[in-house]
Structures are given as C-alpha cells and as structure tokens.
C-alpha cells in the first residue's frame, strides 16, 4: 500500500491510513477554499475556523498548525489519484494506450472536480519561493512523473509506443491543456454559446470534449497509428 507519510517525508498529525471524521473533512474543505482564494499566507487560522464554523482551538487539536492542515489538504486530494495510477500500472488486461486513456480521464475528472485545489497548485507555483507548498508540489509532480514513465516504458518495450517520447513534455501537454480549459472555461462557454447549460451539464460537456481531444492527440503522439 502506498505510504503517503514516507513519500512526503513528514509525519502528519492525522494518520493517513485512517479515515477523516466529518469534522476533519469540514476543516480541510474550508482550508482548501480559503487557500485557493487568499493563498496559504493570506488565509489565517482564524479565517479557516470561521469558514468551518468551529473554534480556532479545534484546528490545533486536529492538525497542530496551518502547515499541517495544508499537508492534510494535499493528502486528501492526491492519495486516491496515486493509488489509481498504481492500480493501473499493475493491470495486465489493458493495453498501454488504453491505460493512457484511463489516465487522461482521471486527470480531467480530478481537475474538474477539484478546481479549488487546482487553484492552489497554480497560485503557489507562480511564487518563486522555497516554501512548504512548493516542496509538496515538487514531490507530487516528481512522483507522478516516475509512475507515468513506468507506464510509457512498458508501452515502448512491447512496441506499442514510439521510442522517442519526452514524458515531461507529454505530461506538460496533458496538465497544461486541462488546466487552461478549466481556467478559461467561462470564455469557452461564451464563444461556443453554451451559456444556456446548467453547471453540471457544462462540466459533463467539458469533460467529454477534453477526453476526446486529448485521446486523439496522445494517440498520434505515442503511437504510429493514424
């Protein structure tokens, strides 16, 4: 089983192998929302407590500090994706290209349904400082890249994928495309005259369009098929 604590080289207040309580989840969600709006430095513990409708002391009780709370946000949002990728790598019934398609859909779903966490990632990567969040993001990206390289290597060994694949640029294309679509979704909705769509319907539309676009792109990028 993936050991979150070992991979990130810290000891969180909450054991990552136990489920969060409803109160803990409420605090994490409130923190994520404010970190996305105000940034890590701009969101105070008092702000988070007010958003979660709890006493400030509860944050110290459950998490110990604002830093540990941010670690919990990363834990909650990334561990499921990591486990999905590991399960995908071990799946022997799917050919490599189909695994890439599953990966694409997982990334699209993650970005669409975790837009506040996405905002934290974008905001903090623009700050050129050696901060806790910068280190968490760097470790997350490095670990994900290693897993994707394993998937691509397997496709190359069996002859399904081209030999000259830059995995870093490939992932930059995937994440960048989805990120830009999410960031500019109001513009996309406007130019395509989709204002009539309810939010859930539009998200489903956006997911489908992204999935088809990226699958077509990656098929040409990775394989010799037309």
What are the pLDDT tens digits along the chain (226 aa)?
333 333 333 333 333 444 778 889 999 999 999 998 888 888 999 999 999 999 999 999 999 889 889 888 888 887 777 778 888 888 889 999 999 999 999 889 988 888 888 888 777 777 666 677 778 778 878 888 888 899 999 999 999 999 999 999 999 999 889 989 988 999 999 999 999 999 999 999 999 999 999 999 999 999 987 5
Question: What pTM does this model have?
Answer: 0.76
pLDDT on residue 145: 86
Phi and psi, residue 166, nearest 5°: -90, 100
- CA angle 138–144–161, rounded 5-degree value: 135
Q: Which superfamily is assigned to 1-77 in CATH?
A: Tetracycline Repressor, domain 2 (1.10.357.10)
Equal fold, 1-77 vs 91-226:
yes
Q: From 132, 125, 124, 88, select the one nearest 107 (Cα to Cα).
A: 88
DSSP strands (E only) in the chain:
none
To the question of domain 91-226 being in CATH 1.10.357.10, the answer is yes
Centroid of chain to Cα 93: 26
Yes or no: say if 30 and 51 are a contact pair by the CB < 8 Å rule: yes
Q: How far is CA 82 from CA 1, 36, 41, 78, 117, in A?
A: 10, 22, 27, 6, 16
pLDDT on residue 128: 64
Q: Where are the domains of the chain?
A: 1-77, 91-226
């Amino acid at each position: 089983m993936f050991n979150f604590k070992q991979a990130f080289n810290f000891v969180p207040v909450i054991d990552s192998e136990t489920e969060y309580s409803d109160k803990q989840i409420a605090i994490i969600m409130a923190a994520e929302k404010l970190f996305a709006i105000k940034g890590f430095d701009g969101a105070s513990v008092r702000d988070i407590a007010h958003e979660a409708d709890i006493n400030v002391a509860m944050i110290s009780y459950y998490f110990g500090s604002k830093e540990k709370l941010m670690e919990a946000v990363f834990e909650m949002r990334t561990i499921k994706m990591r486990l999905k990728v590991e399960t995908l790598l071990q799946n022997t019934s799917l050919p490599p290209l189909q695994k890439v398609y599953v990966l694409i859909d997982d990334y699209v779903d993650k970005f669409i349904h975790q837009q506040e966490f996405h905002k934290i990632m974008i905001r903090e990567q623009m700050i050129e400082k050696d901060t806790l969040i910068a280190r968490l993001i760097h470790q997350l990206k490095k670990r994900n890249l290693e897993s994707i390289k394993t998937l691509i290597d397997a496709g190359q060994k069996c002859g399904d994928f081209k030999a000259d694949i830059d995995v870093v640029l490939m992932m930059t294309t995937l994440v960048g495309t989805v990120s830009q679509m999410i960031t500019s979704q109001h513009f996309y909705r406007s130019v395509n005259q989709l204002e009539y769509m309810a939010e859930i319907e539009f998200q489903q539309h956006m997911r489908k369009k992204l999935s088809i676009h990226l699958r077509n792109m990656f098929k040409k990028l990775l394989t010799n098929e037309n």
